[in-house]
Structure 1
Amino acid sequence: MEYRELGKTGLMVSRLGLGGLPLQRIDAAGTRKILERLMEAGVNYIDTARAYTVSEALLGEGLLGIRDKFILATKSMARTKAEMEKDIDISLKNLKTDYIDLYQVHNPNEAQLETVMAPGGALEVLMEAKEAGKIGHIGVTAHSPKVFEMALSLPWVETIMFPYNIVENQGEEYIRACQEKNIGFIAMKPMAGGNIEDGSLAVRYILANPNVTVAIPGMASVEEVAENTAAANDPSPLTGEEKEKAAAIVKELGTQFCRRCNYCAPCTVGINISSVFLFAGYLRRYDLAGWSKDRYDLQPVKADACIECGACEKRCPYQLPIREMLKKAHRDLEAVKK
């Protein structure tokens, strides 16, 4: 496994890390098995978040006795000092540790990042926690290129996390700037929110960029660990066939697709927006008509219940036209004849 220094933190991290969001689907025993396999493969970087429900707690159980083998990162959507102080203490308790290597400001917009840095903002307590040894380093995660650009100019930012994958390379200029400024770059959404099916190609594509410090695909099984670590350990350049596959994925997905980050939730009337788009995507890309229709029919609230309030679109970090996409998804799925 190749290791890189995480910006100016002094931490040497494996170029492949664990994204902790999918751990919500398993249990503590399953999490422990994944951690043991990662340890055997030389993977030493773990990312989770306060927003990932039980992920921190499952990792806390799984890391008992092996905490020192991993560089541990989490993040909070707190913007004020009081909120961040509370979240840091919860993270420490959940993760069953007395220090967290990297604590990140989770997905702020430009105004929220200003709030974080203002008097009484979250940055105050992050600095205090760093001084006290509760956290080692401070980073920012973003979905917006504008926030990425803003974060690059902030002296306290040691790492930046941003989506980067086969179909989302709009941040390459800023990723290059991270390298120049000695800021660690963490590639999130390697599979574009599950839209990219070929995990090996996804990992190889990302790590072929020398400016990427670490990529963090979500892994919820030992089989996924094996696939991703094998891809990360393959030093050969992308083949012509792989480049053709990547180009086909770009053509197929375009830019208007749901990454299933669920920031749009909750829907005012209870539509499971990301699930609707998942079923519509499987119908469109794989012609799984029966499978998609059956699962859509089981939804307690279908997409045509949308009242077009627009609340979901205001929360979507990708500015997707969710209301129109829901209408199309409903039309396509309802048109399936069983």
Structure 2
Amino acid sequence: MKYRVLGKTGLKVSAIGFGGIPIQRVSVQEATQIVERALDLGINFFDTARGYIDSEPKLGAVLKRRRAEAIIASKSMARTKEAMTADIKKSLAELGVDYIDLYQLHNVRYDNELDRVLAPDGALAALSEAKKEGLIGHIGITGHIKGLLVKALKTSDVLETVQFPFNAVEEAESRELLDVAQKVNAGVIAMKPLAGGALKNAGPALRFILEHPAAIAIPGMDTVEQVEANALIGDKLEPMSDAERELLNKEAVSLGTAFCRRCEYCQPCPEGVEIPMVFLLDGYFTRYNLQDWARQRYSELKVKAGSCIECGQCEEKCPYELPIRKMLAEAAARLDKQ
């Protein structure tokens, strides 16, 4: 595995890190096997969050035993000093460790949220205190709104890393943020490297990110096979071939921008609709000519897209401001049809 220095943190992290959202979908036993294999193959950066249900304890079950091999990153949606202090303690307890290498302000979306976390009694103050106490090693910020992250890095010199969706689809809109991160020497953590699973050719998609020498990629992984395939990319760090680059460009262009990245911030739906899964199956239907397979899988869902009552809660939470209600209706029209 190749390693890179994560900006001014000085942490030496694996070029391919471990995204901790999908681990929620597997059993504790499966999670243990997956995390053990990742460590065995040299993956040492593990990203999780307070909001990822049981991701922290599942990762922690292994990482606390192999603590010296792991760099742990977690994060919280807390916006006040009091709430962030409480969440840091919860993360430490769930992970079963006595310190966390990187703790991040999670999914800062609006100007008023940024102002709140940067206020004297805001979440950043709690992170700074925790760093002084040795409970966390470094401080970062995550989000999907790149202009806001640019503002955050320019406003606060306390922030040492920035984590955001970076992939072949979102290259152009990421350039300013990459430039600013380089200027302030903030470590760059690329989440959604496969655009939430929309990019199907993982090799070229990950190598595209790793062409940027300051960035690491954290694809979500929930099988040993995924770990092994992704680790191989980080081990070789081969440049893309012309054929792979052309394939990736065509795939990115075909996706456009109005598609679900499966970040799952829209969940849970009060009616029980598995919104990202509906859009994943609809993508197979519309982009990969797998209509029969997509409809079969869709028919197995307990709650169909047509159960949406258009309450709009999902759209309020979507960081990409997608018209989810309209998209669900369109998916239902395709997938419900026999």
Equivalent residue runs for 1:143-182 within 5 Å:
143-153=144-154, 154-169=156-171, 170-182=173-185
Q: Distance in 2 between matches of 1:308 and 1:40?
A: 46
**Match for residue 53 of structure 1?**
53
Equivalent residue runs for 1:177-196 within 5 Å:
177-196=180-199
Q: Is the 8 A contact 1:193 1:259 kept in 2?
A: yes
Q: Is the 8 A contact 1:28 1:62 kept in 2?
A: no
Question: Which sits farther off after the overlay, 90-99 or 225-234?
Answer: 225-234
Q: Distance in 2 between matches of 1:43 and 1:273?
A: 31
Q: Distance in 2 between matches of 1:226 and 1:297?
A: 32
Q: Is the 8 A contact 1:151 1:160 kept in 2?
A: no
Q: Distance in 1 between matches of 2:30 and 2:296?
A: 29
SS in 2 for 1:167: helix
Residue identity opposite 2:188 in structure 1: F
Shift of 1:194: 1.3
Q: Distance in 2 between matches of 1:297 and 1:39?
A: 38
Shift of 1:191: 1.3
**Match for residue 238 of structure 1?**
240
Q: TM-score, normalised by structure 2?
A: 0.94
Task: Render the CA deviation track for 1:271-311: whole Å, top value 9, x for unaligned.
Answer: 32212211211111222222222332343443233333333
Shift of 1:118: 1.6
Shift of 1:268: 4.3
| Distance verdict in 2 for CA 1:210–1:332, change over 3 Å | same
Q: Is the 8 A contact 2:210 2:237 kept in 1?
A: no
| Distance verdict in 2 for CA 1:298–1:36, change over 3 Å | closer
Q: Distance in 1 between matches of 2:245 and 2:202?
A: 14
**Match for residue 23 of structure 2?**
23
Q: Distance in 1 between matches of 2:130 and 2:64?
A: 23
Q: Is residue 296 of structure 1 aligned with residue 298 of structure 2? A: yes
Q: Distance in 1 between matches of 2:264 and 2:26?
A: 19
Seq. identity, %: 48
Q: Distance in 2 between matches of 1:319 and 1:181?
A: 29
Unaligned stretches of 5+ residues in structure 1: none
Task: Render the CA deviation track for 1:133-175: whole Å, top value 9, x for unaligned.
Answer: 0001110001002221112211111000000112121212211
| Distance verdict in 2 for CA 1:8–1:327, change over 3 Å | same
Question: Which sits farther off after the overlay, 37-46 or 180-189?
Answer: 37-46
* Count of residue pairs brought into register by the alignment: 335
Unaligned stretches of 5+ residues in structure 2: none
Q: Is the 8 A contact 1:130 1:137 kept in 2?
A: yes
Counterpart among 275, 279, 282 of residue 280 in structure 1: 282
| Distance verdict in 2 for CA 1:270–1:236, change over 3 Å | closer
Shift of 1:89: 0.7
Q: TM-score, normalised by structure 1?
A: 0.94
**Match for residue 270 of structure 1?**
272
Q: Is the 8 A contact 2:64 2:95 kept in 1?
A: no
Q: Is the 8 A contact 1:32 1:63 kept in 2?
A: no
Q: Distance in 2 between matches of 1:301 and 1:137?
A: 42
Q: Distance in 1 between matches of 2:99 and 2:189?
A: 20
Q: Is the 8 A contact 2:150 2:176 kept in 1?
A: no
Residue identity opposite 1:145 in structure 2: K
**Match for residue 39 of structure 1?**
39
| Distance verdict in 2 for CA 1:37–1:304, change over 3 Å | closer
Q: Is residue 2 of structure 1 aligned with residue 2 of structure 2? A: yes
Residue identity opposite 2:74 in structure 1: T
